[in-house]
Amino acid sequence: MTTENMPPEKTAAQWLLLPFRYLLKALIVAAFLVYVLAGVSATMDLYQRTLLRTQDTNVLYAVIDDSVQKNDPKLVSSWLHARPLEETDQLVKMIIPKSPVLSYNAFFEIFQREQKLGRTEEALFWLQLGRFRLRYDTYRCGAEEAGLKAFEPILNLAQSPETDALMREHPALLKKTVQRVLDFDAKYPAHNDPGPICKTLNQELPVEEHNWEPFRQLLRKHTEKFLQDQDQVKAKSK
C-alpha cells in the first residue's frame, strides 16, 4: 500500500513518529561514540600507566624537576600512583630529601600506599603531613583558616575509616604523628610554589616568598597548641 492509499490518520501518525525515529538513531550513534571514546581513553590510561611502571625509579627526580618547572604538582602524584606498591619504601627514601618542593598531593599519595600496605601509623604520618602542607599553602595564598573550607572535599578524600578509628582509639598515636610532622617541617621546610592552590581559591597571586616564613611559624604555633590541647585532654581524663 502506497502513502497515497493509506488512511489519512495513519499517514499523520507516521509523520509524527518520524522525528522520534531520527532522535533514536542519533541517540544510538551518540551512545556508540561515547562507548568508543571511553574505550580509547581507558586504553590510553592503561598504556600510560604501563609506560610509567616500566621506567627506572630514578626517573622520579626528573619528574619532580619537571613538575617544579611547569608548576604542575600532579605530575609527581600521577607518577607515584602508577608505580608498583612494593617500591613504596624506595620511593619514600627518594621523596624525603626532595619534599620541600613537593605539594600536598604527593604526600596524600604516599598515605594511600602506606595504608594499602597495612602500615597505619606511617599512613597517618603522611596524611598529617599532607594536611599540614595544604594548610601552609592556604596561608601563603592569604586565605588562612577560611581557605580550608574550600578544601574540605580534598581533606575528606584523604581519610579512611581505619585512620579515623585509629585516631579515636589511640590519641597518643595522633599526637606522635603530628609531632613527627613538626620535626619533619623543621628539617625540610616547604618552599614549593602555592600558585596552583591560590588559583583554586581564586587568589591571583600568593604572598611574596620573602614573607612566607611568618606564615610557617604561625602554622607551627597552631600545631603546637593542638599538641598542648591534647595533653590537657589527657590530663583531665585521668
The pLDDT tens digits for 52-70 are: 556 889 999 999 999 999 9
Predicted pLDDT at 20: 58
Q: How far apart are CA 52 and CA 32, in angstroms?
A: 30
What does pTM read for this prediction? 0.73
Contact 201, 147 (CB under 8 A): yes
What's the average pLDDT block by block, 10 residues per block, for the chain (238 residues)?
50 55 66 57 43 76 95 94 95 97 95 92 92 90 64 59 72 89 97 88 80 93 89 65
pLDDT in tens, 57-104: 999 999 999 999 999 999 999 999 999 999 999 999 999 999 999 999
B/e letters for 175-200, b = 16+ CB within 10 Å, e = fewer, are bebbbbbbebbeebebebbbbbbbeb
Rg of the chain over Cα atoms, rounded to whole angstroms, equals 26
Backbone φ, ψ for residue 224 (5° rounding) = -65, -35
Residue closest to 184 by CA, chosen among 196, 193, 176: 176
Query: For residue 89, what is its C-alpha cell?
Result: 619504601
Q: How far apart are CA 178 and CA 228, in angstroms?
A: 12
